[in-house]
Amino acid sequence: MKIDLTELLQKVGNEADLAEEITVSWPEDSLTLTKPIRLDLHLVNTGSSVLLTGRAETEAELECSRCLKKYRVPLAADLEEEFTLDPVRQGAGETELHAEDFASPIDPDNSIDLAEIIRQDLLLALPIKTLCQQNCQGIKGEE
Ligand SMILES: [Zn+2]
């Protein structure tokens, strides 16, 4: 999913709101979605970067770790991402960037691709333990 930033980049301080529904398909081993992703995004041109905040909501199909039954859960992730305007960082130290904070680049055609970012954030939002219900008894007859 690509977002065109041409207009936003024209002036420092420009902001944009975006509400969209997107349908994606990722390899099944990573995440199976049963609904389109509802996106609510806010973009700000800070001068040195474009800050994206927002929320992604969808529904995922998971497999119960006890009975192996497939079940669906609502899945939501808060998005927060920084896109650097200039790949060469100037004035290092001005921004509170740690080594693990990875600022994504903006494509030469002034667009950003959100699909991978959203995928990562949704994966992080997945429950650690997948249970179809709190007291799932597992597969009957097997211990
Ligand atoms: Zn179960």
CA of 29 relative to ligand 1 center, distance in Å: 19
CA of 85 relative to ligand 1 center, distance in Å: 47
What is the reported pTM? Answer: 0.79
Instruction: Write down the pLDDT at residue 115.
Output: 87
Instruction: Write down the pLDDT at residue 95.
Output: 53
pLDDT in tens, 45-102: 999 899 999 999 999 999 999 999 999 999 999 999 999 876 554 444 445 555 445 6
Domain boundaries along the sequence of the chain: 2-87+98-125
CA of 62 relative to ligand 1 center, distance in Å: 10
CA of 116 relative to ligand 1 center, distance in Å: 30
Per-residue confidence band for 118, with pLDDT thresholds at 50, 70 and 90: very high
Instruction: Write down the pLDDT at residue 83.
Output: 92
What's the whole-number average pLDDT of the chain? 86
CA of 70 relative to ligand 1 center, distance in Å: 8
User: Rounded to whole angstroms, how far apart are CA atoms 63 and 82?
Assistant: 33
CA of 129 relative to ligand 1 center, distance in Å: 11
Regarding predicted confidence, which is higher, 5 or 24? 5
Domain 2-87+98-125 class in CATH = alpha beta
User: Rounded to whole angstroms, how far apart are CA atoms 49 and 58?
Assistant: 28
Rounded alpha-carbon distances, angstroms, from residue 129 to 27, 75, 84, 103: 21, 14, 36, 30
Instruction: Write down the pLDDT at residue 99.
Output: 42
Q: Is the dihedral of CA 51, 54, 58, 60 positive or negative?
A: positive
CA of 43 relative to ligand 1 center, distance in Å: 40
CA of 64 relative to ligand 1 center, distance in Å: 5
